[in-house]
Amino acid sequence: MAGERTNKRRGRTQSLLPSSSTSYDRPNSISCWYCDFKIFAFNDLLFNLGWQNSRFLKKWFSLGVCFSLFAFVGVLMMLLWYLFGSFRHENGSFGFDSYLASSWSISMMDAGIMILSSLMSVAFHEFGHGIAAASEGLQIEYISIFLAILFPGALVALNYDLLQALPSFAALRIYCAGVWHNVVLCAVCALMLILLPLVLCPIYIHGEGPIVLEVQQTSSLSGFLSSYDVIVSVDGSKIRTSDDWMKMMVQINAQTFSKPHSLEAQNYRAISARKGYCVPYSWLERSMTLLEEGDQFSCPNKLAAFESMSCFNSSLLAGNRNRIKETGDKYCLTAKDVIKLKKCGTGWQMTETDGINCFCSEEESCMTPVQIPGISWVEISYTSPYSSECLQHRQNLSSTDPENPYLGSSSCGGTFVYVGDVLSVAHSIQLSSYRPRSTHIIFSAHIPFILEKTFVCTLLVSASLVYLNCLPVYFLDGESILEKCLGYVTWFTRRQQRKILQLCLLGGTVLSIIVFSKFLYSVLAIS
């Protein structure tokens, strides 16, 4: 977080961060709750760079003032909208807290990316203040990296008296420079995310199936998916990127919990009355009927419970319907064999016309899986193009039929069924939308993921700094921006301007604390 930029000596009160010439005698400060490290080596470099390009930089930061003032008003409106609008939404979270709670745990790599993104964002923010001050002829006293309690930050120290002697708009350019530079950094990160597929195109394939980078040991998918497997489809719907994977899982979860359940939690029933398979009657006759115990039923190990779908099938013969009723409509079947059959029902996410109704042939019945209410049944198809078995299979096929090196054997992937909470399992694997074109550089599969996550994290951190420094609160850029803006309101006396400033800062600080507390409580409550 960016700290206060200047030594504001009001009256005879001693400043916490002295920026007078006496500060050179004690280059570093340390106490039980605050410590900092002052850097003087870049003072002349920043001043020369800013002063030599002052004409261009003044125009550049004048544009930043215009944007920052619009952002200042916009952030204030967002703050009020979040505070009062949240009372009409559950927990005041607008649906974001469930995602944050599901992604609460982070890996060491995630932590490293967050630290790097924070350092880049804060450094670019402070560079904006320093170079803007230099363009106005104001000498930088020092650059400080500090730790206040547990919160890190940085600041560019300027002499407050010299800053106050500058014209109001010149001082406003300096105060708004940090916000403006963070906005520019956000735009650069967004542009890089858009151009990243094009930049990496010679080495990586994008949008043709996400590659698995890591599977958590506690994940339910650890026995089915391995590193460098490629997700092909979910419930028959093509998965092209990691975003498609998450959107599909969210959609399936919403579909599961949107259905009313009349049975109690301990009872069993069909997951979805719209998701089924066309099972031959010969299979049903050979299968074991369910062993009923009270209101529950169960199947032997390695078998899954199925029941006939409650929808009209015009192709069923009357004799077949009677045969089903005589033996019962619940059966134990082998799931890995059933999922290879033709799909029926309208619960599948697939966009193809095949398998979007309840109709099967006259020798088949549409059977749907039976599970606990609120639990999803999901088909996941994958390939293993980088595995040694698949590479050997490709070589064998290429030698026998060079024009058709088909990767269709079991060694190159398959389809399995996951039954459970789809949102938790969706976050238990790490996916990348970029796949190496060559199997010889598979070790580089993590590079696009790291780049993409770094750009996203830097964009979010920079946007957060824009938001924080546009708030009318104490000790941040919003305080100085508001003070200079009130100076243009000529119908107030200087004393009245100070009172209005203190009132706005007090209200903005209290309002920000309330909103932040509400948001933090909603996230912690759902996690």
Question: What whole-number distance in Å separates Cα of residue 171 and Cα of residue 265?
Answer: 65
Contacts of 251 (CB under 8 A, 6+ apart): 349
Contacts of 275 (CB under 8 A, 6+ apart): 235, 343, 345, 347, 348, 368, 369, 377
DSSP 98-134: HHHHHT----HHHHHHHHHHHHHHHHHHHHHHHHHHH
Distance of CA 129 to the CA centre of its chain: 30
Place of tokens 């190990």: 301
Please give the DSSP secondary-structure letter assigned to residue 405.
-
290 and 396 Cβ atoms separated by less than 8 Å? no
Helix axes of 43-52 and 108-135: crossing angle, nearest 10 degrees: 60
Please give the DSSP secondary-structure letter assigned to residue 477.
H
Catalytic residues: 126
Helix axes of 446-469 and 54-85: crossing angle, nearest 10 degrees: 80
Which amino acid, one-letter code, is at 455? F
Please give the DSSP secondary-structure letter assigned to residue 342.
P
143 and 154 Cβ atoms separated by less than 8 Å? yes
